[in-house]
Amino acid sequence: MAARDIIVIGTSTGGVEALAQLARGLPPGFPASLFVVCHFPPGGRSILPDILSRSGPLLATHARDGEVFQPGHVYVAPPDYHLLLGPDRGMVLNRGARENHFRPAVDPLFRSAAREYGNRVIGVILTGAMYDGTAGLIAVRAAGGVAVVQDPRDAVVAAMPQNATEIAGADHVVPVARMAPVLADLVTEPVSSTERTPAMDPIERMPDVAARDMERQANNERRGEVSTYTCPECGGSLWQVDEAGLVRFRCHVGHAYNGEALLAEQSLALEAALWTAVRTFKEKSVLARQLAVAEVAKGDRAAAGRFAEQAEQAREYSELIQRHVLTGNGQKPVPGPGTT
């Protein structure tokens, strides 16, 4: 028999204090692996692993891409990276699209755990705002896992645990002070290693839906339907006119284009977006260098090094777009609008 040895935890506002309190209550030699997503600004430096390591007996570190996870260890999603669980006790970090405005987000961690480890998973939702984690908790429970949610009355911000409880449901609703004993009991419960409920968050099917729609659009099979394009003037959806002889589109406020005119508008918009990216990367590089100089003046060489690394990366990206995308063939870039 297998055990519930995968614990995924999601939190936001007030989460550091809640996580520290939970870590204090866990016993040494805890037989499960814990994975934490706490919403954090992308440019900041997270010291959450240090806080959790000091708070309790378990070692906490930032997760690393490709690392094999071990029991009795806390793995924290680093800033600006989604943390996913892969097969064979592997971890995956990626900078995929933000979900619910966040990267890292709770839902990707929860649904990957449900998909790979099924009824071995315990999903935990702590204090925070809005809905992140609710869909993930639905996936955990659908796969046979257990949901443990902080009592909303005990949370700094009640929305995340309240939404999770009302929409996904919860097997245990407890204050943080009582959560460690609940988890300690749950990880001792055996679960079947053969009974496995396939778990698929419906949102994971959307890439296939979008790909099918794109393919139908490319084959001119969406006449009379909403197209996969947006209006260059107002950003609204474009409907394709139902006629065989011409490829034409119209948005709901009246902007209309034939196919070639729309293609020309898209080319202009794409070039403008690329020049905006070049400008933004250059500005990011300069700002990061400025912050590095300020940190050197304060004597913080470590922080200065992080900002210098960001500055160099932004500079490389700016040059890459100019050299290989906007001008092509590695030729010397031609100045764009507003550049010198």
CATH number, domain with residue 144: 3.40.50.180
Report pLDDT for 240: 96
Q: In terms of domains, do 150 and 236 share one?
A: no
Q: Are residues 6 and 150 in the same domain?
A: yes
* Among 170, 205, 240, residue at a domain's last position: 205
- Are 135 and 195 found together in one domain? yes
The tokens 């029991």 sit on which residue?
A: 71
Beta bridge partners of 76: 36, 62
Q: Which pLDDT score is estimated for 207?
A: 86
340 within domain boundaries: no
Answer yes or no: do 131 and 33 share one domain.
Answer: yes
In a domain, 332, yes or no: no
pLDDT band at residue 104, thresholds of 50, 70 and 90? very high
CB proximity list for 126: less than 8 A, separation 6 or greater: 9, 10, 11, 14, 15, 18, 19, 22, 150, 155, 160, 161, 176
> CA 135 to CA 22: how far, in whole Å?
23
For residues 67 and 205, what is the distance between their CA atoms, to the nearest angstrom? 27
Catalytic residue among 5, 33, 39, 151: 39
Residues 6+ apart with CB under 8 A from 118: 143, 144, 145, 196, 197, 199
Q: 115 and 176 share a domain?
A: yes
Residue 201 shares a structural domain with residue 244: no
Say what the pLDDT of residue 295 is: 94
Mean pLDDT of 121-135: 95
Tokens of 227: 């197209």
163-167, 181-185, 302-306: which range is least confident on average?
302-306
pLDDT over 60 at 331, yes or no = no
Percent of the chain whose predicted confidence (pLDDT) is above 70: 94
Looking at the fold, whether 125 and 187 belong to one and the same domain comes out as: yes
Distance CA 319, CA 332 (A): 10
In a domain, 211, yes or no: no
Report yes or no on 24 lying in a domain: yes
**125 pLDDT more than 90:** yes
Domain limits for position 238? 220-326
Tell me whether strands 146-150 and 172-174 are parallel, antiparallel or unpaired: parallel
How far is the CA of 336 from the CAs of 141, 188, 262, 275, 321, in angstroms? 53, 63, 23, 7, 12
Catalytic residue among 33, 55, 112, 132: 132
Contact present, 288 and 307 (Cβ < 8 Å): yes
12 is catalytic: yes
Give the whole-angstrom CA distance, residue 85 versus residue 115.
Answer: 9
pLDDT confidence of 340, banded at 50, 70, 90?
very low
| Mean pLDDT within 38-45 | 83
Q: Is the confidence at residue 330, as pLDDT, over 60? A: no
Q: Is 39 considered catalytic here?
A: yes
Q: Which tens digits make up the pLDDT trace of 185-236?
A: 999 988 887 655 555 678 888 888 999 999 999 999 999 999 999 999 999 9
Q: What integer is the mean pLDDT of 141-148? A: 95
Residues 12, 55, 112, 318: which is the catalytic one? Answer: 12
pLDDT digits (tens, 9 = 90+) for 239-258: 999 998 899 999 999 999 99
Query: Among residues 152, 181, 205, which one ends one of the domains?
Result: 205
Within a domain: 337 = no
